[in-house]
């Protein structure tokens, strides 16, 4: 096998030419690419018991309940982030088809903008059990707004999901109270005092439960606890031109060295 230093000393001009040509080509490409700024929003999962009536109105001490969920609670949120829902809603809020210069309007532009936003975004669970929404954008002031909005959309969706059972229960209680009230009204003065007292007590129980569930539904406990909102970045994150050019030079050197080795073997053959 030929000595590496011998190959370099013999073929250095050709190797240098290839490396310089590669650097020029790749350099033109990466310097024509626009700078993209990264913004990151961070949240923790809220406890699933935050929407539980027993936590607020029960007799157990509040210390028995934690405000935070566990990292496994984020799996459902990550599943939702795979859908187009939050990206389409964010596109509608910011008219991103204009920002991305789609050159068209309507549903087609909306879908393309959502796909591009999704391509420039990441929703991940960190090694510390945090939920992070990352957005890269050419506008350093828009990037944090998009990251924060994606986080808010995820929180809103899961707020509605975890509150749905309370809304159903509230509706059933209201229907039960209405039915009982009609029974009292239709009976008029025909009911005995004991029966009337029992029905009145039931109505009071209904009113108490309705008030409790109404409070929870109106409160809409958060599914995510925002730890840090996304902020504008002063320095672009993509493309990393120095890293790309360094990798290009290294790969070009290895390629030309292997090519020189092949040429030397052909000569000896």
Mean pLDDT, 10 residues at a time, over the chain (269 residues)? 75 90 93 93 80 55 58 85 93 93 83 94 91 95 96 92 84 87 73 75 86 81 90 91 93 91 78
Strand partners, 46: 68
What local confidence, expressed as pLDDT, does residue 19 receive? Answer: 93
What local confidence, expressed as pLDDT, does residue 50 receive? Answer: 56
For residue 67, the 8-state DSSP code is S
Residue holding tokens 């018991």?
Answer: 49
The torsion of the CA quartet 110, 164, 223, 72, rounded to 10 degrees, works out to -100
Evaluated on CA atoms 107, 111, 116, 118, the torsion sign reads positive
Q: How far apart are CA 38 and CA 238, in angstroms?
A: 8
What local confidence, expressed as pLDDT, does residue 119 receive? Answer: 95
What local confidence, expressed as pLDDT, does residue 65 receive? Answer: 52
What local confidence, expressed as pLDDT, does residue 106 receive? Answer: 82
Q: Residue 71: which residues within 8 A CB-CB, separation 6 or more?
A: 45, 125, 129
Q: pTM of the prediction?
A: 0.75
**Which among 159, 153, 157 is positioned nearest to 41, based on CA atoms?**
153
Q: How far apart are CA 151 and CA 78, in angstroms?
A: 11
Q: How far apart are CA 134 and CA 125, in angstroms?
A: 11
**Which among 99, 130, 128 is positioned nearest to 112, based on CA atoms?**
99
Evaluated on CA atoms 191, 193, 198, 202, the torsion sign reads positive
Query: Long-range CB contacts (< 8 A, 24+ apart) of 14-20?
Result: 14/256, 14/260, 15/253, 15/256, 15/257, 15/260, 18/252, 18/255, 18/256, 19/249, 19/252, 19/253, 19/256
């Amino acid at each position: 096998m030929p000595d590496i230093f011998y190959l370099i000393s013999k073929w250095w001009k050709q190797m240098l030419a290839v490396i310089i040509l590669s650097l020029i080509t790749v350099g033109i490409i990466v310097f024509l690419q626009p700078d993209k700024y990264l913004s990151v929003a961070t949240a923790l999962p809220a406890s699933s018991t935050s929407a539980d009536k027993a936590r607020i109105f029960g007799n157990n001490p509040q210390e028995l309940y934690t405000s935070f969920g566990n990292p496994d609670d984020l799996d459902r949120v990550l599943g939702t982030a795979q859908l187009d829902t939050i990206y389409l809603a964010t596109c509608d809020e910011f008219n991103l088809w204009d920002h991305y210069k789609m050159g068209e309007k309507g549903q087609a532009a909306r879908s393309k903008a959502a796909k591009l936003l999704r391509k420039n975004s990441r929703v991940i669970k960190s090694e510390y059990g945090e939920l992070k929404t990352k957005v890269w954008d050419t506008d350093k002031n828009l990037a944090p707004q998009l990251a924060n909005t994606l986080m808010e959309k995820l929180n809103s969706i899961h707020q509605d999901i975890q509150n749905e059972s309370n809304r159903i229960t509230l509706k059933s209680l209201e229907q039960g109270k209405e039915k009982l009230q009609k029974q009292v009204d239709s009976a008029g003065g025909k009911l005995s005092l004991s029966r009337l007292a029992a029905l009145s007590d039931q109505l009071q129980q209904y009113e108490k439960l309705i008030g409790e569930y109404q409070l929870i539904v109106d409160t809409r406990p958060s599914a995510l606890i925002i730890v840090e909102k996304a902020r504008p970045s002063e320095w672009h994150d993509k493309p990393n031109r120095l890293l790309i050019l360094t990798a290009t030079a290294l790969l070009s050197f290895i390629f030309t060295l292997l090519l020189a080795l092949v040429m030397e073997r052909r000569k000896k053959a």
